[in-house]
Structure 1
Amino acid sequence: MIVQRTITTLPLLFICMILTAQDIPSKEWQIKTAVMAAPAEYREGAKVYGYDESGNFVTLREGNNTYICLADDPKNENFSTAAYHKDLDEFMARGRELKASGMEFQEIFDKREEEVKAGTLKMPDKATLCVFSGTVDTETLEIKDPYVRYVFYMPFATGESTGLPTTPTPPGHAWLMNPGTHRAHIMITPPKEEN
């Protein structure tokens, strides 16, 4: 999927949404923007997680295909949604659980590495994650400068087993991050279009 450098205009319904006192966007707007991370053919039937009016992490919509989408976390300053293959759901849920317990990134990484190796945490042999980002216009709620990056999980893959470099490459090129670990993944960051 190629994301054009255009302004994504949301329907008037979403432009007119009202935020709660905790600045939690409406369920409809969360779903609309969460599915932007998924490939177009998977958006309609994707399951969507997001936030209720109190800021609790909840299921906003059940799904019937292989994708799960995450709405933007209203506690984070930068707008970002994600979509991933359903086989990654246990892995992602464990990460959220460990983060909620107070663990930092490296602690979460180490704990999941231990659990995947022990066989107590399911990690698929391959799965896709797409991350959608941009800037939200606070007046119109349009997503400006939309941008998608792709992550292909291949647990315990190495540079030798894939033939990929293990250091960052220019946009448009693939490279392998976290080689040799449970979180080994191919990163592909499409180049941004120039103005």
Structure 2
Amino acid sequence: MKRIITALVFSGLLMSCNSTDKTKNDNKEDITAETVTDSTSNEMAKTLIPIDTDEALIATALMAAPRASRSGCKVIGYNMAGEFVTLREGDNELIVLVDNPKQEGFNAACYHKDLEPFMARGRALKAEGKRTQEIFDIREAEMKAGLLKINPGSTLHVYYGPNSMYDPETSKVEGAQIRYVVYLPWATSESTGLPEVPVAANHPWIMNPGTHRAHIMISPLPEE
């Protein structure tokens, strides 16, 4: 009888030891997993760097253009020295405007070259100190007079966001997303069938209806 009791006690001690060891191992695995996660997060954070060179301005702005067209886009805008220049010549129908490094956040654009006179006029009026509504009114009058022209269907792609850090491997800007504008001068809700306010996220609508700057606005949801 004593032998049976002794055997039972011994078995109980072994089970207790194994349970303790398992708990220790489980804790160790949890800590390891947390360490790996933290390390990965830190590595991801390290990949983001400031947009502080002309090359970075070009690379990040090209994200506004369709992927298949990026290699042939002309790139213009303010360089790191604050000069408005042609940063790269192009050989296709698109022009890319880089982010202004002197302004907060990020805002780059890509548009058809036929829109350049209209865009350049806006930049010139802004440089003269004209306000947003004044620029709108002047360009509207010049459109009516035939001094400026927007071909219906001309598209503007805007790549924008609140941050100015980017991943040098992908050229993606932290938190940035794309927005599309399709110009239809003088179009209205009645002529297009589009609402004048967005019905829901990701839905097209018409902005500035009935004016020279009427356009279809499409704001896709962020990728994440």
- Structure 1: gaps of 5 or more residues: 1-8, 18-24
Corresponding residue number in structure 2 for 1:60:
87
For 1:125, the aligned partner's letter is P
Q: Which has the higher contact order (CA 8 A, sep 6+)?
A: 1
Please tell me whether residue 186 in structure 1 is matched to residue 216 in structure 2: yes
How far did residue 41 of structure 1 move? Answer: 0.8
Question: Quick check: which has more Rg, 1 or 2?
Answer: 2
How far apart are the structure 2 equivalents of 1:41 and 1:138? 21
What are the superposed Cα offsets for residues 99-137 of structure 1, whole Å, 9 maximum, x if unpaired? Answer: 000001000000000000000112222200011023233
CA contact (8 A) 2:63 2:172 kept: no
Aligned length: 176
CA contact (8 A) 1:174 1:186 kept: yes
How far apart are the structure 1 equivalents of 2:167 and 2:113? 34
What are the superposed Cα offsets for residues 129-149 of structure 1, whole Å, 9 maximum, x if unpaired? Answer: 011023233898962123101
Aligned-pair Cα RMSD in Å: 2.4
Going from structure 1 to structure 2, the CA distance change for 1:16 and 1:131 (only over 3 Å counts) comes to closer
Corresponding residue number in structure 2 for 1:92:
119
How far apart are the structure 2 equivalents of 1:64 and 1:187? 28
**Match for 2:181 among 139, 143, 151?**
151
For 2:142, the aligned partner's letter is E
**Match for 2:103 among 73, 76, 89?**
76
Show structure 1 runs of 4+ deviating over 3 A. 14-17, 138-142
**Match for 2:191 among 161, 179, 187?**
161
How far apart are the structure 1 equivalents of 2:172 and 2:223? 19
Higher-helix-fraction structure: 2
For 2:127, the aligned partner's letter is A
What are the superposed Cα offsets for residues 18-65 of structure 1, whole Å, 9 maximum, x if unpaired? Answer: xxxxxxx32211110111100101111000012234301111011101
Secondary structure of 1:182's partner? coil
- Percent of paired sites with the same residue: 54
Secondary structure of 1:143's partner? coil
Corresponding residue number in structure 2 for 1:104:
131
How far did residue 193 of structure 1 move? Answer: 4.7
CA contact (8 A) 1:171 1:188 kept: no
Secondary structure of 1:98's partner? helix
- Structure 2: gaps of 5 or more residues: 1-43
Corresponding residue number in structure 1 for 2:152:
125
Corresponding residue number in structure 2 for 1:136:
164
Give TM-score, length-normalised by structure 1.
0.82
How far did residue 97 of structure 1 move? Answer: 0.4
